[in-house]
Amino acid sequence: MSQDLFPVKPDIRERAHIKTMEEYQRLYRLSLDNPEWFWGEQAKMLTWFHPWQSVFDADYKEVDFSWFMGGRINASFNCIDRHLPHLGDKTAIIWAQDEPGVYTHITYRDLKHNVARVANVLLHNGVKKGDRVCIYLTMIPELVYTMLACARIGAVHSVVFGGFSAESLRDRIVDARCKVVVTANEGLRGGKKVPLKRTVDRAIEGMSLVECVLVARRTDSEVPMQPGRDLWLDEETAKQRSTCTNEWMGAEDPLFILYTSGSTGKPKGLLHTTGGYLTYAAFTHKLVFDYHPEDIYFCAADIGWVTGHSYIVYGPLANGATTVIFESTPLYPDPGRYWQIIDDLGVSIFYTAPTALRALAQAGDDWIKKYSRKSLRILGTVGEPINPEVWRWYHDVVGDARCTVVDTWWQTETGGILITPLPGVTPTKPGSATLPFFGVKPVIVDPATGIPIEGNDVSGALCLGAPWPGQARTVHGDHKRFRETYFTQYPGYYFTGDGARRDEDGYYWITGRIDDVINVSGHRLGTAEVESALVAHEAVAEAAVVGYPHPIKGQGIYCYVLLNSGFSEGNQDQLIGALKEQVRQAIGAFAAPDVIHIAAGLPKTRSGKIMRRILRKIASAEYDGMGDISTLAEPDVVNKLIEEHQKSQ
């Protein structure tokens, strides 16, 4: 592991909100010693209609946390209305469209009018406080309008990433019982059309639950509209007034549901509430990126994932920032796209994922050198461990050794960043997320004994030992699952699913998932989901899916498949293609397997448990050190798998 230390840059320290390690340590101690005081102070950065009665309440046995109880607040008011007196003409959103060089600037005043109109359309179509609205869109402004429109009237949004298949979308609509779906006729991404409405039609076919589909117009294409159910969003907003009252929501009223994959079963709808989530998103956005009012802020994630929720929409807008919404991909039309946007718009803070950086580094430095990037100051990364050499490339080439790199570790469940450098405070090490944010208490637990390991230079399962306002409160409709997934493995702690090392300086290094979740291009995927997609195919008797190191995606998807008799003869190329397609259809294109390994047998214990550890090693071409395989029912299987793997390389 790299031991290089990159000191804080003096000019960055100069303008930072927090300028010294001593100040960080003092505040960090206060935040853990007296969280109620600390978070009560931070929540004052938002505008409350009515003050809270207690900062924090918990029932640890029930796993029930509440922040700012009794407080009344509205997220849309905080992201829009309260800024209008002084920032009405400021650009809230710059929409960087799919075609290079095409930008739309949306002021805070425009944002208010657009959000209020969509809110009125929702109300007009029977959406009430507490109702769930599914949003299935690519990166267009209507996505933000609809999220904030929901927040304005107290509806709960459930954004489903526009790359999910009809089947996945259907599961999510049903699970959250959404009665309205907001989509577009088509999306545009990387010069290609995304058939959003067609996918919605398939997802809700024969379903009476969804009463209304609102369709934004992104392209000129016609799509079938079902009378009595489907409405064009632009026609409906044109009928509505541009004002709409903000509901006074309770601090603990739900703001949104967002689905994420776990090691078992169907994806879980994590539920985030209003006051604590927004406090945490706004406060972390301000300090981690050292946000100042003159910044142009560009997070290149998709709003379909939590990064986009917290750090494209809620955090930046609550802080009155100018936030870029990017419709395209880093490689369209060429690998210079990000740097072009940065120069065109004068971006000072840029936030992306290691997978994009790896692809761009591979394309060569000329693409970067073509652009000045002189406006940049802070470079963020999130989603997966960043290889130290990619970190250095980001720092040296993209940032000209002038910008600060912040490697931010967090999860859908955590609502906001938990382990991260602060630009004015933390000397960085390539590949380390460094130190905990305020109020965050990382605990490294020995996975064998469940006992916390004290001191430095230790590794184990990463847990969190103290609650924070941004954390998810429950799994929608299944609190038992919430409790069992996160709070039973290591009683008294929240278990993250990640492994981590605390080095000799107390810095954290996230080593990746230690459960059956893989991280593909920064997208979390449960291996069980891919397996159930595979076994749904008539040819498949059994499937076991693992991750393996992939040069661009971080982890690739490696599927071991046992075939039913009658399917194992002859050329298998067609079947392999069909199995990949099966997974695309069941989950989405981003989940398409990289490797289908048709195997003669799987390594199982005598009790029938698949030994994934062995499968992971073979998929990674690590044939030695299989460990103890004496408990296998048929030890020969291992050699056979290795042979098959070698043959395919």
The residues of the shown chain that bind ligand WT7, judged by CB under 6 A, are: 260, 305-307, 382-385, 407-412, 433, 496-498, 510, 512-513, 519, 524
Considering beta carbons, is residue 408 or 471 the nearer one to ligand WT7?
A: 408
Distance in angstroms (rounded) separating the CA atoms of residues 560 and 547:
11
Q: Which of helix, strand or coil describes residue 141?
A: helix
| Cα–chain center distance at 205 | 28
Considering beta carbons, is residue 323 or 496 the nearer one to ligand WT7?
A: 496
Distance in angstroms (rounded) separating the CA atoms of residues 310 and 412:
10
Least separation in angstroms between residue 6's CB and ligand WT7 is 16
Q: In the block, which residue shows the tokens 């209305």?
A: 81
Least separation in angstroms between residue 374's CB and ligand WT7 is 26
Considering beta carbons, is residue 180 or 444 the nearer one to ligand WT7?
A: 444
Least separation in angstroms between residue 262's CB and ligand WT7 is 10
The H-or-E segment that residue 352 falls in is: strand 349-352
Task: Count CB-CB contacts under 10 A for residue 430.
Answer: 22
Considering beta carbons, is residue 518 or 544 the nearer one to ligand WT7?
A: 518
Q: In the block, which residue shows the tokens 């799987």?
A: 602
Per this entry, what is the length of the chain? 649
Give residues with Cβ within 8 angstroms of 125, minimum separation 6: 180, 211, 212, 214, 231
Least separation in angstroms between residue 434's CB and ligand WT7 is 10
**E-strand spans in 408-522?**
442-445, 458-464, 474-475, 494-502, 508-513, 517-520
Q: Which of helix, strand or coil describes residue 296?
A: strand
The tokens for 337 are 């796209």
Least separation in angstroms between residue 511's CB and ligand WT7 is 8
Considering beta carbons, is residue 187 or 547 the nearer one to ligand WT7?
A: 547
Give residues with Cβ within 8 angstroms of 103, minimum separation 6: 94, 95, 96, 97, 344, 345
Q: Are strands 296-299 and 349-352 parallel, antiparallel or unpaired?
A: parallel
Least separation in angstroms between residue 499's CB and ligand WT7 is 9
Least separation in angstroms between residue 522's CB and ligand WT7 is 6
Could you say which DSSP state residue 308 is in?
Answer: H
Least separation in angstroms between residue 496's CB and ligand WT7 is 6
The H-or-E segment that residue 511 falls in is: strand 508-513
Q: What are the backbone angles phi and psi of residue 12, rounded to the nearest 5°?
A: -75, -40
Least separation in angstroms between residue 147's CB and ligand WT7 is 17
Considering beta carbons, is residue 385 or 556 the nearer one to ligand WT7?
A: 385
Angle at 263 between CA 261 and CA 266, to 5 degrees: 50
Give residues with Cβ within 8 angstroms of 569, minimum separation 6: none
Least separation in angstroms between residue 214's CB and ligand WT7 is 27
DSSP β-bridge partners for residue 212? 180
Least separation in angstroms between residue 306's CB and ligand WT7 is 5
Is residue 104 within 8 A of residue 97, CB to CB? The reply is yes
Least separation in angstroms between residue 528's CB and ligand WT7 is 16
Considering beta carbons, is residue 223 or 419 the nearer one to ligand WT7?
A: 419
Is residue 469 within 8 A of residue 266, CB to CB? The reply is no
Considering beta carbons, is residue 265 or 512 the nearer one to ligand WT7?
A: 512
Considering beta carbons, is residue 97 or 511 the nearer one to ligand WT7?
A: 511
Least separation in angstroms between residue 192's CB and ligand WT7 is 24
Considering beta carbons, is residue 183 or 352 the nearer one to ligand WT7?
A: 352
Alpha helices in 75-161 (DSSP H): 75-79, 84-87, 108-124, 141-153
Give residues with Cβ within 8 angstroms of 450, minimum separation 6: 489, 490, 491
Least separation in angstroms between residue 211's CB and ligand WT7 is 31
The tokens for 591 are 């989940």
Give residues with Cβ within 8 angstroms of 410, minimum separation 6: 306, 382, 416, 417, 418, 419
Residue nearest to ligand WT7 (CB): 412
Considering beta carbons, is residue 121 or 405 the nearer one to ligand WT7?
A: 405
Is residue 611 within 8 A of residue 632, CB to CB? The reply is yes
Considering beta carbons, is residue 146 or 521 the nearer one to ligand WT7?
A: 521
The H-or-E segment that residue 642 falls in is: helix 636-648
Nearest 10 degrees: Cα torsion 297, 301, 302, 308 = -60
Considering beta carbons, is residue 254 or 497 the nearer one to ligand WT7?
A: 497
Considering beta carbons, is residue 170 or 513 the nearer one to ligand WT7?
A: 513
Considering beta carbons, is residue 254 or 385 the nearer one to ligand WT7?
A: 385
Angle at 140 between CA 137 and CA 146, to 5 degrees: 65
Nearest to 130 by CA among 67, 188, 85, 177: 177
Residue type, 631: T
Residue type, 177: R
Least separation in angstroms between residue 267's CB and ligand WT7 is 11
